[in-house]
Amino acid sequence: MQIISACEILGIDARQEYKGKGWRADVFIPNDTRPIAFEIQLSPQSLSKTLQRQSKYIQDEILGCWFFENPIPKLIEERPDLPVFYVEDDDNSTLMVNLGTRRKINLLTFLENFITNNIQFRPIAKTNSTQTIKLVFYEMTCWKCKELNHLFYVATPFHSSCNADIKPEEALWESNSIEYRPEIIKLATDFADNRPELNLKLVQIKERFSHKVGKSYMSFGCYKCDSIFGDFYVMDAKMGVMYEIDSISHIGQVELMETFELDIPHWCFPEDGHFCGDH
Ligand SMILES: [Zn+2]
Ligand SMILES: [Zn+2]
């Protein structure tokens, strides 16, 4: 009923309980170029049963779109041949539609955009060039000169314009950690400069030769004596702070010099009209 009345508001012709060859849609949009069948599935239905019912729509060149209340067992990732969205009532008993864990929108907004093809499948998620990130600072004493240094890490994932979480450490991005990127370093140094009362002694990040490894690589090192901080010790110090709630942190915006992508198949609904991976 909510789909029908939403379509009425949008001026879209929608038929209830519409029957075709081997299928019966809860709501059918008899669009010439892109007919759509909406299926509302409140009782559990297995993935194989859903795919079997979906194949009838595919045969008839109809886009079958499913609303489930509960996750489909064994459906581990979103797929192009099966648009599935999870619905729930909000406090005002308006149906809300979840696009994965990325966005939650009301039914009207969903229908308006899905029917007009503003929600499209994409196999990858791509970072926005502007990112809001959280830096967390932690301490480490130089093993050589015993001076206290402040290190930092990026505590939040990056996001695509459709709000998918993109974890930099999962992206194929050289072998360097995200903290070595110039734009991230700048965010940290600007923060340290603007907050002198915190007395942050930021580590120096640069290429250093490691005798142990036998080559040069990007590393954290002592701000005072330039001694290299080995990855293991850095990781150890970071682990110590990760679950602390009162550590020094800073939320700020960075402009990424290059965007990056992760294989995250998803139904993309970008906030700015730029679908993931499109140029
Ligand atoms: Zn030192
Ligand atoms: Zn996307």
DSSP state of 196: G
How many angstroms separate the alpha carbon of residue 225 from the centre of ligand 1? 4
Q: Which ligand is nearest to the CA of 147?
A: 1
Taking only the tens place, the pLDDT of each residue in 14-67 is: 999 999 989 999 999 998 888 999 999 989 999 999 999 999 999 999 999 999
User: How far is the CA of 231 from the CAs of 145, 181, 213, 218, 222, in angstroms?
Assistant: 18, 16, 11, 10, 13
pLDDT of res. 107? 94
For residue 173, pLDDT beyond 70: no
* Number of residues that this document lists for the chain: 279
How many angstroms separate the alpha carbon of residue 228 from the centre of ligand 1? 9
pLDDT of res. 125? 96
Query: Whole-angstrom Cα distance, residue 30 to residue 17?
Result: 12
Q: Which ligand is nearest to the CA of 128?
A: 2
Query: Whole-angstrom Cα distance, residue 152 to residue 275?
Result: 32
pLDDT of res. 196? 96
Q: Which ligand is nearest to the CA of 99?
A: 2
Say if strands 36-41 and 63-68 run parallel, antiparallel, or are unpaired: parallel
Query: Whole-angstrom Cα distance, residue 150 to residue 172?
Result: 27
Tell me, rounded to whole angstroms, the distance of Cα 218 from its chain centroid: 27
**pTM metric for this prediction:** 0.86
pLDDT of res. 260? 86
Taking only the tens place, the pLDDT of each residue in 223-236 is: 999 999 988 899 89
pLDDT of res. 175? 57
pLDDT of res. 161? 96
Mean confidence (pLDDT) of the chain: 92
Query: Whole-angstrom Cα distance, residue 180 to residue 202?
Result: 13
Name all domains of the chain by residue range, CATH numbers in brackets: 2-118 (3.40.960), 130-262 (no CATH)
